[in-house]
Amino acid sequence: MVPLTEPKVDSELLRARAIRCLGELPPFSPILNRLLASLAKEDVPFNKLGELIEKDPVVAGNLLHLVNSALYARRGSINSVRHALSLLGINKLRNAVLGMSITRMWNQVHTPPTWSMARFNMHSAATATLSDLLSQRLCVDYPEGAFVAGLLHDVGRLLMALGLTEEYSSILAMYGAGEKSLLECEMEVTGLTHPELSAEALAHWNLPEPIQNAVRYHHAPEMDPTLVGPGCIPLSRVIDAANQYLNSTGISIVKDCSDTADPTLIESLGLSAEQLETVLADFKTEYESMSAYFR
- Say if 120 falls within a structural domain: yes
Query: 3-class secondary structure for the chain?
Result: CCCCCCCCCCHHHHHHHHHHHHHHCCCCCHHHHHHHHHHCCCCCCHHHHHHHHHCCHHHHHHHHHHHCCHHHCCCCCCCCHHHHHHHHHHHHHHHHHHHHHHHHHHCCCCCCCCCCHHHHHHHHHHHHHHHHHHHHHCCECCHHHHHHHHHHCCHHHHHHHHHCHHHHHHHHHHHHCCCCCHHHHHHHHHCCCHHHHHHHHHHHCCCCHHHHHHHHCCCCHHHCCCCCCCCCECHHHHHHHHHHHHHHHCCCCCCCCHHHCCHHHHHHCCCCHHHHHHHHHHHHHHHHHHHHHHC
- Say if 1 falls within a structural domain: no
- Say if 7 falls within a structural domain: no
Spatial CB neighbours of 62, under 8 Å, sequence gap ≥ 6:
100, 293
**The pLDDT value given to residue 7:** 52
Name the residue among 216, 225, 224 with its Cα closest to residue 196: 216
> Average pLDDT in the 158-178 region?
94
- Say if 164 falls within a structural domain: yes
Stronger pLDDT, 187 or 28, i.e. the higher one: 187
66-92 residue pLDDT tens: 888 767 766 568 888 888 888 887 778
> Average pLDDT in the 97-108 region?
87
Domain count, the chain: 1
210-248 residue pLDDT tens: 999 999 999 999 999 988 888 899 999 999 999 999 999
- Say if 240 falls within a structural domain: yes
**The pLDDT value given to residue 87:** 80
Asked if residue 252 lies in contact with residue 240, where contact means CB atoms within 8 angstroms, the answer is no
**Residue 283: is its pLDDT beyond 90?**
yes
Domain of 41 in residue numbering reads as 19-294
- Say if 8 falls within a structural domain: no
- Say if 60 falls within a structural domain: yes
- Domain with residue 124: its CATH number is 1.10.3210.10
Asked if residue 35 lies in contact with residue 97, where contact means CB atoms within 8 angstroms, the answer is yes
**The pLDDT value given to residue 70:** 66
Start-to-end Cα distance in the chain: 33
14-54 residue pLDDT tens: 999 999 999 888 888 887 887 787 776 666 677 777 888 88
133-145 residue pLDDT tens: 999 999 999 998 9
**The pLDDT value given to residue 5:** 55
Spatial CB neighbours of 179, under 8 Å, sequence gap ≥ 6:
none
**The pLDDT value given to residue 237:** 97
- Say if 14 falls within a structural domain: no
